Amino acid sequence: MKSFLILAVLAFAAPLANANLYNFTYKRIADNQFLVGQIDGILQADGNTIVVSSIVGTPSLGVVPGILLPFVVSTDFSNFNTPDLVPKVTIDGSFMDILAYSINSNTGGSGFAFAAGNLSAATYGTNGAPFVGFDGVYGAFGTGYGENFFAANWTISPVPELSSANFLIFGVVFLAWMRRVASAQSSKA
């Protein structure tokens, strides 16, 4: 029984798998509100860049409930119609190129945009400064709002999920333990 428990603990201590879901948080400067949400994306080979496929659920801003943001594009694509760009964020915040909106337009609705290290941050009315912008329910003080982006205010981490390997290891250990228990009981009889 003791060895079973040790093996079971080791099986569940195996690395957690990433199901391509990431929790993110950004603390705004103007009002110290936190934008909190979740993205679906694929971590690239560099171990830092995440190609974003969607915003999951409804990100919230402080105590303000969020709304669905089904349209996610590259800020460079939106601002300059640069082809073949996909929305990306980095774990360390060094490159941010994502625009998430409630309607298929960058002229209205609600949403947010992060730009750092991309063409939008370098040229789009910011004098080369990284920026973050908010509209609609995500706007500061109920209006559209933008400010300089600070990587130190950005955090993102994978959503932990038990991997299939953990369950496979647990199953093998459990079967071995059951076989041992059955063998011990038959030898007593």
Q: What is the pLDDT of residue 90?
A: 98
Q: What is the pLDDT of residue 53?
A: 97
Q: What is the pLDDT of residue 2?
A: 54
Q: What is the pLDDT of residues 51-110, one digit of tens each?
A: 999 999 999 998 888 899 999 999 999 888 887 899 999 999 999 999 999 986 555 678
Going from N- to C-terminal start, the domains of the chain cover: 2-9+165-188, 18-161
| Residue of 178, 169, 96 whose CA lies nearest to 130 | 96
Which element (helix H / strand E) includes 25? strand 17-27
Q: How far is CA 73 from the centre of its chain?
A: 15
Mean pLDDT taken over the chain: 83
DSSP H helices in 29-163: 75-80, 119-123
Q: What is the pLDDT of residue 17?
A: 46
Q: What is the pLDDT of residue 99?
A: 94
Q: What is the pLDDT of residue 140?
A: 67
Region of residue 24 (left: phi > 0; alpha: psi -120 to 50; beta: else): beta
Q: How far is CA 184 from the centre of its chain?
A: 49
Average pLDDT of span 154-167: 78
| Rounded CA separation 106/2 (Å) | 60
User: What is the pairing mode between strands 111-116 and 96-101?
Assistant: antiparallel
Residue 73's alpha-carbon distances to 37, 86, 96, 110, in angstroms, are 17, 6, 12, 14
Answering whether pTM is above 0.85, one says: no
| Rounded CA separation 55/39 (Å) | 4
Dihedral angle, C-alpha 104, 107, 108, 113, nearest 10 °? 80
| Rounded CA separation 22/42 (Å) | 10
Q: How many C-beta neighbours within 10 Å does residue 161 have?
A: 13
Q: What is the pLDDT of residues 24-48, one digit of tens each?
A: 999 999 899 999 999 999 999 999 9
| Amino acid in position 139 | G
